[in-house]
């Protein structure tokens, strides 16, 4: 089990890194989908079968189809990626900002959330599951919704700004 966990964790990290650093947006979107599938594998190994299924159906399926359709709608070409070639300093500054953000949030999140193994939640019906999602776990549910909205807006902004750079 540990080897599968390490394998899926490595796939998630690889897919995330390729998503961030690859110049072609379609390849980045496909690696993001692969990373989401590997994350579903992690959820399955941890015993969260429902979340693994939701991860595959909703995120790796519907959301990634939406992102790829948006990228295809703006007709981006591989050689048009001028936006990502502005030099090394913005990338280094972004990396340090990300490290600082993680270092600032990590101590807060360790005190707010209990480990998954300590919480045994076995809802017997969909009604009870939805009650748990909208009462006890509403913060995580809302944060995930805002994150998906930000990702969709980011994809649209990146596509629009690259389209404007190529037409001017």
Poorest-pLDDT segment among 14-23, 50-59, 69-78: 69-78
Question: Can you give the residue ranges of every domain in the chain?
Answer: 2-85+123-167
pLDDT at 10: 92
pLDDT at 80: 47
The predicted model gives 93-114 an average pLDDT of 72
Rounded to whole angstroms, how far apart are CA atoms 146 and 164? 27
Whether the CB-CB separation of 66 and 152 falls below 8 Å is answered with yes
Residue 57 scores a pLDDT above 90: no
- Higher pLDDT: 107 or 37? It is 37
Whether the CB-CB separation of 32 and 70 falls below 8 Å is answered with no
Rounded to whole angstroms, how far apart are CA atoms 69 and 73? 6
Rounded to whole angstroms, how far apart are CA atoms 64 and 33? 6
CATH number assigned to the domain with residue range 2-85+123-167, chosen from the 4 options 3.30.460.40, 3.20.20.70, 3.30.70.1520, 1.20.120.1200: 1.20.120.1200
Residue 8 scores a pLDDT above 80: yes
The predicted model gives 123-151 an average pLDDT of 78
- Higher pLDDT: 82 or 94? It is 94
Whether the CB-CB separation of 25 and 158 falls below 8 Å is answered with yes
pLDDT at 30: 83
Long-range (24+ apart) CB contacts under 8 A made by 11-15 are: 11/35, 11/38, 11/41, 12/38, 12/39, 12/42
């Amino acid at each position: 089990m540990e080897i599968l966990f390490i394998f899926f964790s490595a796939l998630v990290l690889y897919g995330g890194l390729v998503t961030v650093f690859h110049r072609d947006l379609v390849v980045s979107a496909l690696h993001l989908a692969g990373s989401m599938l590997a994350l579903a594998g992690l959820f399955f190994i941890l015993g969260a079968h429902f979340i693994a299924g939701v991860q595959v159906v909703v995120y790796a399926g519907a959301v990634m189809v939406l992102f790829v359709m948006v990228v295809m709608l703006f007709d981006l070409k591989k050689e048009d990626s001028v936006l990502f070639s502005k030099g090394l300093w913005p990338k280094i500054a972004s990396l340090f900002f990300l490290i600082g953000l993680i270092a600032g949030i990590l101590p807060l999140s360790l005190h707010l959330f209990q480990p998954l193994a300590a919480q045994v939640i076995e809802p017997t019906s969909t009604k009870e599951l939805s009650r748990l999602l909208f009462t006890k776990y509403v913060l995580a549910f809302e944060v995930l919704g805002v994150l998906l909205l930000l990702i969709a807006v980011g994809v649209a902004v990146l596509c629009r700004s690259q389209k404007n750079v190529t037409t001017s």
